[in-house]
Amino acid sequence: MAGGKETPRQKMIGMMYLVLTALLAMNISKDVLNAFIQINRGMVKNAANSEERADATMLLLDSWSDGTKAAPFQAEAHKFVDEADALVNYIIELKARVLAASVNGSVDGAGFEEYIGVYKDNINFKDFEVKPIAQGGHLIDIGDKEKVSKPDENQNTTAMLIGSEPANPRSGAWSAVELREKLTAFANRAIGIEVTDIKGKSHKLAEGAPETKGLIEKTFKFEDINNSDGEPEKWETALFYHTPVSAVIAHLSKIEGDVILAKNAVLNYLTSQINSSDLKFSDVTVAVVPKQSYIMRGDSFVAEIYLAAYNKNSTTRVYMSGSEAGDNPTPELFDYNGITPITSGSDGKCKFRINQSGLGAHSHKGVIVYQDADGGDKAIPFVVPPYFVGEPNCVISPTNMMILYRGVPNPVEVSVPGVDPSSLSVTCSGGSMSGSGGNYNIDPGSGAQVTVSVSATINGKSVSVGSKNFDVKALPNAETMLNGSLKSGGKVKKSDVINGYVTCQIPPEFPVGKNLQVTIGSCRLSVNGVDVGICSGGRLDGAQKTKLNGLKAGDVVLFSQVTTNKGYGQPLVLTVQ
């Protein structure tokens, strides 16, 4: 209820309630009457469970750790609970009067007291003891055939609740009209809940809990209901006119449960508002604060790791000091008047940046100023964890290999810890280079070595940070194939040789072989050791094809002296099948 949603059990009971109500227009069978009895029992149990939740919420309110802050909400909660309980007691007595009227024929339900009490056996509804409402008494179970012998009686209940004119139901004590009026007043009271806290701030349910407000309005909405002929009838007439007493009691039990659920919703709202003026956080993140950002070998790295909460919708300001800070700053040690603040961005975080040119350990102190829930400024001092500034070190590493290969672009990554890649200047001797932002391709020349040199712009000056020498090797001979798939040592058809073509590829497992395009320059063809000629581009010309017309099974075909745009290809030997 508090969240504006019904549980699956509540939805199921509501659906059964509507379906069985529709059956009232039909002849009421014993099974239907018994169904109303079972539904009533379920609603009574749900109401009891809801009452327990309300008691638990009141206990939480009354035992709130900050009693001063909770006091205004506690007072309003007790006042509203008394009003809700009075309405529940009214409904219980109304149900008892309905039973008395049904059995005894009394229009005002005289003698209702005998229908209110408690069961010693609440599961099987046995050993009923009369007990007033004020002492915890509830309505007798309507399945008790000794007390409710005619669950389908409807004349006397109609006379009590509606009267003789269905289009103009009677008003006054113990009528359906009086019930509707009390329920409407209760709903308006719940929606109008307003509490002023100890800071003078007003908390209105209608403004602060729109879902709860909407649910209460929907629950206690008493519009006309169409009858079986599609004509509108007053809420009182549709529910209680010539309705069997077992169904009337089920209706009233459902309404009793609605009142208790509304009480729960209001109590939950009041509870949620006690700390609503406190500082609110919209997001959390993980904060990792190292005690040192630079350590020596053999020393220990220490960092504090914890959840940090912040409100990205609240404007935050940070005032930084350029002087060294101690370990335990206090507001008295920091005067931020006249200092330009760093303001939070759209993510709610302030970002501190400083150009630190001096070598050695550094730290800074500051104050973060935020707005509390009441709009006032609050300041908290802090210390930036110490960090160490040293000479930059250069890291140059090949992406896929430890050497460079001639004839292909070799990918190389270049980085300098603590320096933005855009501030690096990378050059090489013994080859050509392309790329930027720390990612480069090097194409070695004819020499045996390539040297990569790196400089970085630090504090406006170009500083050499290192260089590295790479050995240069030629690519391995490519693997030669016929028709893109036939490899050396395989068998081949005569037609595949005559009409085929030679291809080469660098083995895919080779570091730079993947997706490397290799084209054939030429190769020499021989059969059984007899030269056939040079195949330009890896294909046979007409004269060569004519010479191969005599190929027969067992002949050995050899493609040798293979040249490519990346070097040489391996010989290809095939046997004609």
Measure the CA–CA gap between 526 and 546, rounded to whole angstroms: 14
Q: Which string of DSSP letters, residue by residue, matches 215-249?
A: HHHHHT----EE-TTS-EE-HHHHHHTT--HHHHH
Judged by phi (left if over 0) then psi (alpha if -120 to 50, else beta), residue 298 lies in left
| Predicted local confidence at residue 101, as pLDDT | 93
Give residue 125's Cα distance to chain centre. Answer: 47
Q: Which residue has the higher pLDDT, 228 or 50?
A: 50
Give the CATH number of domain 395-474.
Answer: 2.60.40.1080
The percent helix, strand, coil of the chain (3-state, each to 5) is 35, 30, 40
H, E, C per residue of 111-169: CHHHHEEEEEECCCCEEEEECCHHHCCEECCCCCCCCCCCCCCCHHHHHHHCCCCCCCC
| pLDDT, mean of residues 108-133 | 85
| pLDDT, mean of residues 180-196 | 97
Tokens of 198: 């100890």
Task: Please choose, from the candidates 524, 538, 535, 528, the residue with its C-alpha nearest in 3D space to the C-alpha of residue 571.
Answer: 524
Per DSSP, helices labelled H in 389-522 are: 494-498
Spatial contact of 577 and 492, defined as CB atoms under 8 Å apart: yes
φ, ψ dihedrals at 437, nearest 5°: 65, 25
Does residue 522 surpass a pLDDT of 50?
Answer: yes
Does residue 25 surpass a pLDDT of 70?
Answer: no
Q: How confident is the model at residue 297 (pLDDT cuts 50, 70, 90)?
A: very low
Amino acid making up residue 471:
D
Task: Examine domains 395-474 and 479-576 and report if their fold is the same.
Answer: yes
- Of 100-104, 124-128, 422-426, which range is least confident? 124-128
pLDDT tens column, 189-207: 999 999 999 989 999 999 9
Q: Which CATH number fits domain 479-576: 2.20.28, 1.10.287, 1.10.3470, 2.60.40?
A: 2.60.40
**What is the pTM (predicted TM-score) of this model?**
0.51
Judged by phi (left if over 0) then psi (alpha if -120 to 50, else beta), residue 136 lies in left
Class of domain 283-389: mainly beta
Q: What angle do CA 148, 154, 159 make, to 5 degrees?
A: 115
CB atoms within 10 A of CB 343: 11
| Predicted local confidence at residue 9, as pLDDT | 63
| Predicted local confidence at residue 459, as pLDDT | 57
Mean pLDDT of the chain: 83
Parse the chain into domains and list their residue ranges: 8-108+150-273, 283-389, 395-474, 479-576
Measure the CA–CA gap between 267 and 55, rounded to whole angstroms: 10
pLDDT tens column, 299-313: 466 677 766 776 666
Give residue 135's Cα distance to chain centre. Answer: 48
Q: Name the residue with tokens 């509501």.
A: 14
